[in-house]
Amino acid sequence: MSKNVDTLPEKNPLSFQLDLSKWEKASSEEKEQQIIERESVTFFKDGMRRLWKNKVAITCAFILIFIILAVIIIPMVYPYTYDQQLSIAEKGKLPDSSYNNLGPMEYSNTEKKMIEEGKDVFPHLLGTDSLGRDYFIRVIYGTRISLSVGLFASVIVLIIGTLYGSIAGYFGGKVDLIMMRIVDIIYSLPDMLMVILFSVVFQQTLEPLIAGTFLAKLGTGMISIFLVFALLYWVSMARLIRGQILSIKQQEFILTAKALGAKPSRIIRKHLLPNCISVIVISTALQIPNAIFTESFLSFLGLGVSIPMPSLGSLANENLSYIYSDVYRLLVPALTICMIVLSLNLFGDGLRDAFDPKQKK
């Protein structure tokens, strides 16, 4: 409003132009009423505000951040590694079997001698296992592996599910019908049994295929878990995305984009997917604990990550027999899994309540 309203051109008697002399100017008090007191809030900010109010979800987020930082930082500064068998000494020295099966904060004979000599020895916070490996660092590594399996598996599910679901939803009709029948069939397969079966087979077949590549380092167990997720677990994500796309694509702005000549891939990428981003993020967050669950289950059956790499499930499996003597060895990985899954579940629920209130059950 740069124009001075008081000096409008003179009114033509036939025109509908307002006659300013008949109007009264607003008083400053009245103007004040028009001021918007609350700043306009974006969808994201609004959701974050709601999330921040949810004490449980925020506590869980902090627990998760703490665990993630711990598994990143501790291996960098900790003096032992997860596969180092301390009892096997350097060449020319006798192995020191007193390293095996130490209790928490205990020292082996070699270390006791070193302490007597006045050297600093880092304590074994949770003792060592039967092969003389420091148990604390194995738990930390196990947590790291379980978390990364959960994360990567969910990302795989996210990519495949989103791609598949958005294509089926966007094109609709026959394409949708055929694609969704495939989803129905995969969905009705008993997933855990198929997971076990695939893991057995992949462990046997992958070994020679990946020998020598960087994949060999990951181990067949881990790759088979990822493959299984890529093959079977994406279907519920695909269903969800398809449903969202189906409802969004009816709206006018999609019609406008089509009329302007946008290609399907552009419409999906720029218009449809950004509108279901909250559904995508929430279901990915809830997928992670599911993946951790599956991984620990497989590792517990002896089908998960390959030795000597630990995961929380395989650590629980290895130390099941210590339930009568050193029960902490079993409880530490078991309770860590529970804590991670619980925190992820509650945080995911909080995310859903904050960003997608309609979906609240």
Residue ranges that bind other proteins, judged by CB under 8 A: 184-185, 188-194, 196-198, 200-201, 204-205, 208, 289, 293, 296-297, 300-303, 313, 316, 320, 323-324, 327, 330-331, 334, 337-338, 341-342, 345-346, 361
Q: Give min distance, CB of 279 to other proteins, in A.
A: 19
Q: How far is the CB of 146 from other proteins (least distance, A)?
A: 11
Of residues 100 and 236, the one with the C-beta less far from other proteins: 236
Separation between Cα atoms, residue 42 and residue 56, nearest integer Å: 24
The Cα–Cα gap between 233 and 313 comes to 20
Count of CB atoms situated within 10 Å of the CB of 302: 14
List C-alpha distances in Å: 137 to 47, 167, 334.
Answer: 38, 45, 15
Which two three-digit tokens encode residue 94? 């006798």
Supply the minimum distance, in Å, between the C-beta of residue 339 and other proteins: 8
How many Cα neighbours within 13 Å face the side chain of 246? 14
d(CA 223, CA 260): 44
Nearest CB to other proteins, comparing residues 108 and 290: 290
Rounded least distance, CB 22 to other proteins, Å? 54
C-beta of 128 vs 299, nearer to other proteins: 299
Contacts 24+ apart (CB under 8 A), 283-287: 283/236, 283/237, 283/240, 284/154, 284/155, 284/157, 284/158, 284/237, 285/344, 285/347, 285/348, 285/351, 286/344, 286/345, 286/348, 286/349, 286/352, 287/153, 287/154, 287/157, 287/158, 287/233, 287/237
Shortest spacing between CB 356 and other proteins, in angstroms: 16
Q: In angstroms, give the least distance from the CB of 324 to other proteins.
A: 6
- Minimum CB separation from other proteins for residue 170, in Å? 21
Q: Which is nearer to other proteins, 75 or 104 (CB)?
A: 104
Whichever of 130 and 321 has its CB closer to other proteins, that residue is 321
End-to-end CA distance of the chain: 49
Cβ within 8 Å of residue 317, ≥6 positions away: 299, 300, 301, 302
CB 80 within 8 A of CB 134: yes
Question: Residue 300 and residue 131: Cα distance in Å, rounded?
Answer: 19
Nearer to other proteins, 13 or 208 (CB): 208
Write out the DSSP string of 68-127: HHHHHHHHHH-SS-TT--TTSPSTTS---GGGTT--TT---HHHHHHHHTT------TT-
Query: What are the start-end ranges of the H helices in 127-251?
Result: 135-171, 173-188, 191-210, 214-218, 220-228, 235-248
CB-nearer residue toward other proteins: 149 or 268: 149
Which C-beta is closer to other proteins: that of 272 or that of 346?
Answer: 346
CB of 52 to other proteins, least distance (A): 21
Smallest distance from other proteins to CB 163, Å: 23
- Residue 99 vs 300, nearer CB to other proteins: 300
206 closest CA partner among 193, 188, 221: 221
* Token representation of residue 135: 């148990």
Q: Identify which of residues 36 and 211 has a Cβ nearer to other proteins in the complex.
A: 211
Q: How far is the CB of 228 from other proteins (least distance, A)?
A: 11
